[in-house]
Amino acid sequence: MLARPSRLRQRLLTASAMVSLLASAFGASAPPVVAANPVTTGSPGLFSTGTGPAKPRVVNPAATSKLPVGFVDVTALTGLTQPTKLRVAADGRVFVAEKSGLILEFQSLSDPNPPTVWADLSSEVDDYWDRGLMGLALSPNFVADHTLYVQYAWDHNPVAALAGDPYPNAPAAWNDQCPSPPGPTTDGCTIEGVISRVTGVPSGNRPLGPAQEHVLLTGWCQQFPSHSNDDLWVGSDGDLYATAGDGASFTNFDYGQFGGTTTPLVTPANPCADPTPGDIGTAQSLPTAEGGSMRAQSSLRTDGPTVLNGALIRINPNTGLGVPGNPYYATSTDPDKQRILAFGLRNPFRITFQPGKNVVWIGDVGDATWEEIDQLPLPAADGTNNFGWPCDEGPGAHPGWPTNLNQCTSLVNAVAPYYTYNHSAAVSSGDGCLTGSSSISGMTFYTGSAYPANYQGALFFTDHSRDCIWAMLPQANGDPNPTKIVPIDVGSVAPPS
């Protein structure tokens, strides 16, 4: 495995070059308007651990699984532990990523035998709350080149890697935990994310591991254990498409003001150094704050580098660099900005591609009120690729978010979601799914022939918290019709513990 440079340390080493930009960023400003204190958004993460506030699943204890006439619900694979992604190779083999960092191989979807551990990256993965191995994609020539791609939360604390060791109590790794101090929702346990290429075939009982891993990209500084690294695809153009959340607090409105409160000091204030390397250790304040959830708007920064949080990126699968045709590839010298296709996303947990159209569909897990399905036609262009988070949520301005953040008051051309559903409302009238907590967690277009004809081209999507699956049926132009949503599977699964 290649050495993994800490992106935060690289940024801090350039601090002297940023002094003039930093000085110009702070001037006379209006008095800050602070959100209610404290603000609890009630939107923890997707994965429950039994030790922390996972986003709860809303379960109807009287319900039994209900399917449309002619449909059956069949268990294909068993014995899995928190599976996060499934990919099928051209030869029929099935590869399943588990949150802990394991990649399992089945010979087919009907394989009754225990899987082979194809790769074990658990020594590198931070498996804690919503952090873990979340993205898996196979090379288009996987059967011949034995190459797959992964995206995961990296168990590496960039604060501990700073030159001069200014925070000696910061551990180098968290070992799948977040002790107190610093506390998972107090000061947070800071990590980064990774996209890697893994090549080879397991030998005997020895799976592939970090020795066969080629790191393509590190970054995505994350203070809190949700809104982490998310999905990963190989597009029809051969490039890698990846999403990640903002890495911010999910229990309070976070604009970079958290950290630095514990004794001993483990996680400093503003540990991700937003917006400039010299800002680490200094809590962000209104109206100039650009940390926390505001990292999702970093492509608009004029006083510091762009970061990859809250964004959809497209990169070269061999180099990890941005590719020609990306909105900022030709206009920016910032390598991370060159990688970005779209931004302004909270937790874009899953994406999918629309067959026959050059369009990416994004399922963005919402805060306290709305879930979103966003549409991004390609090629993406500046001015039509900002989905507005955290200034906007769902169909309008985010309620309760501080009202005079500079980057929000100046926000223009935010793209409205293609479809939203309110946490307190049914997705489809009478669907039988309870309302309340919500988290859109999967989506795909159906192109097979086994389902009735009206499902051909439909967008199927699921909500982990509601334990339900729906289909958004196509309209005349082939795009999903938000007015024609039908329930497919109304679950009755008990919440995880």
Q: Any bridge partners for residue 375, and if so which?
A: 361
Q: How do residues 118-140 score in pLDDT, each as one tens digit?
A: 999 999 999 999 999 999 999 99
Place of tokens 């039988």: 432
Q: How do residues 127-183 score in pLDDT, each as one tens digit?
A: 999 999 999 999 999 999 999 999 999 999 999 999 999 999 999 999 999 999 999
CB neighbours of 414 closer than 8 A, spacing ≥ 6? 344, 386, 387, 388, 391, 392
Write the DSSP symbol of residue 24. H
Predicted local confidence at residue 31, as pLDDT: 31
386 and 454 Cβ atoms separated by less than 8 Å: no
Predicted local confidence at residue 491, as pLDDT: 80
- N- to C-terminal Cα distance for the chain? 35
Q: How do residues 392-451 score in pLDDT, each as one tens digit?
A: 999 999 988 998 999 999 999 999 999 999 999 999 999 999 898 899 999 999 999 999
Average pLDDT along the chain:
88
Residue 7 DSSP SS3: helix
Q: The tokens of 329 are what?
A: 């590839």
Closest CA to 193 of 274, 252, 278, 135: 135
459 and 471 Cβ atoms separated by less than 8 Å: yes
Q: Is the Cα dihedral 163, 167, 169, 173 positive or negative?
A: negative
Q: Give the chain's residues under pLDDT 70.
A: 1-65, 492-497
CB neighbours of 330 closer than 8 A, spacing ≥ 6? 324
Residue 113 DSSP SS3: coil
Predicted local confidence at residue 32, as pLDDT: 29
